[in-house]
Amino acid sequence: MTTSLKRIEREPLWDLAHAQLRDALLAGRFEPGTVLTLRFLAEQFGTSITPVRDAVTRLVAQGVLQQGPRNSAIVPNLSRKELADLTVVRCALEGRAAREAALQKHDAAALRQLEERLSKMQSLIQARKLESYLEHHRKFHFGIYAMSGIPLLVETIENMWLRCGPVLSFVIPEYVVLLKGWDHHTAALKAIVAGDAARAEAEIVADITEAAHYLGGLADTTGQLRRPAIA
């Protein structure tokens, strides 16, 4: 799977390298099993290997990446059991964040940004142009979670997404275009605008569990999740 990363121009380079690598993983730009060499990442970022090594080391320590052969790291494969465990935690955290978001008073600009993000996601699906869909999808979700007003909760959610972000790329294109049923994103946003905390939580939980059910069905005979074959 190809990816395009921005060159880094400013200090501190190690923090920026970490942030960009993290964002790429969150957006599902690297599939499970991908070997990331320090040289490749340094070339993409336009930096020396040193800040990249620091960024990779931090992500390996978090359990987000696995240590690979010399001067490389591996995006871990995810098993059906690991996905199920992550889904339990994600539902608890993200559902609560959506609930809290619905209870807050929000400014018009924040809500308008969410509406624009949702509209963009829908237009990408309609046009079958899904290259940037997951990035908009992530920003929509985290826009809601930021509204909770609980930064620690948002940070913890991000850590869970880092672990499952790579397999989220497997929902493109079949699940997003053909199999996704009720639009839980629209329903969740409407619930937040209406201040309906229970509904907001339920819609986000349903969105997570339905995608997890689809992904779980992609497991091979060893229980590892695999990208579906293109018909």
How does pLDDT run along the chain (231 residues), one tens digit per residue? 555 676 655 557 768 888 889 988 888 888 899 999 999 998 988 888 999 999 999 999 989 999 998 899 999 999 999 999 999 999 999 999 999 999 999 889 999 999 999 999 999 998 989 989 999 999 999 999 999 999 999 999 999 999 998 898 898 888 888 756 569 999 999 999 999 999 999 999 999 999 999 999 999 999 999 998 765
What's the pTM? 0.87
Identify the pLDDT of residue 24.
86
Identify the pLDDT of residue 45.
82
Distance CA 38, CA 44 (A): 10
Q: Which two tokens stand for residue 216?
A: 């779980």
Own/partner pairs, 137-142, CB within 8 angstroms, 24+ separation = 138/26, 138/27, 138/165, 140/114, 140/185, 141/94, 141/204
Please, what's the b/e burial string for 105-136 (b: 16 or more CB within 10 A of its CB; e: otherwise)?
A: eeeeeeeeebeebbebbeebbeeeebeebbbb
Instruction: Give the phi and the psi of residue 74 in degrees, each rounded to 5.
Output: -120, 135
Identify the pLDDT of residue 220.
95
CB 98 within 8 Å of CB 145: yes
